[in-house]
Amino acid sequence: MAAPLRISSGRDELDVAMIHRYLSEQSYWKRGVALEVVRKGIDNALCFGGYVEGQQVAFARVVTDYTDFAYLRDVFVLPAFQGRGYGRQMVAAVLGDERLRGVGWMLATDDAQGLYASFGFESLATPEKYMRRPAP
């Protein structure tokens, strides 16, 4: 049986070095990202850490106005802790957070559509209406 996951949005608990290491070295979406970019993203978002026996093993970040929009980003569980349901617990905690009740959600994923679909996410009905301006 997996050790219990404690989830917190306490910013002072986050292991920024571990988050940066994972995002810059292991993620497919932010490989090579600079530490200062990760710090700035954490400083300007609602972040959640997942902890097992005091060690941070999971992370999720929400960019939001707390009113009607939230974008779920940078969700991960360290490889050594995957397969224990921690990712599902993290997403459930984020979506259930009182500060985010009533907002509309967006996210992008290359490989976890099934997980997010189980929480009510669906493909865009009219993707041609959406536009993006990539960072320079």
- Kindly tell me if the per-residue pLDDT of 136 is higher than 90: no
pLDDT higher than 80, residue 1: no
- The reported pLDDT for the residue numbered 134 is 85
Is the pLDDT at 2 greater than 90, yes or no?
no
pLDDT at 115: 94
Once rounded to an integer, what is the mean pLDDT over residues 95-103? 96
User: pTM of the full predicted structure?
Assistant: 0.93
Mean pLDDT, rounded, of the chain: 95
pLDDT in tens, 106-129: 999 999 999 999 999 999 999 999
Q: Give the other-Cβ count within 10 Å of 136's Cβ.
A: 3
Residue length of the chain: 136
What is the structure's pLDDT at 135? Answer: 80
Which residue in 50, 59, 135, 63 sits closest to 106, CA to CA? 63
36-49: pLDDT as tens digits: 999 999 999 999 99
Report CA-CA distances (Å) from 20 to 23, 42, 68. 5, 10, 29
Which of helix, strand or coil describes residue 4? coil
> What one-character-per-residue DSSP string does 14-59 give?
--HHHHHHHHHHT-SSSTT--HHHHHHHHHTSEEEEEEETTEEEEE
Q: What is the pLDDT of residues 17-38, one digit of tens each?
A: 999 999 999 999 999 999 999 9
Nearest to 107, CA basis, from 68, 65, 70: 70
Which pLDDT value is given to residue 126? 94
33-37, 50-54, 67-71, 128-132: range with lowest mean pLDDT: 128-132
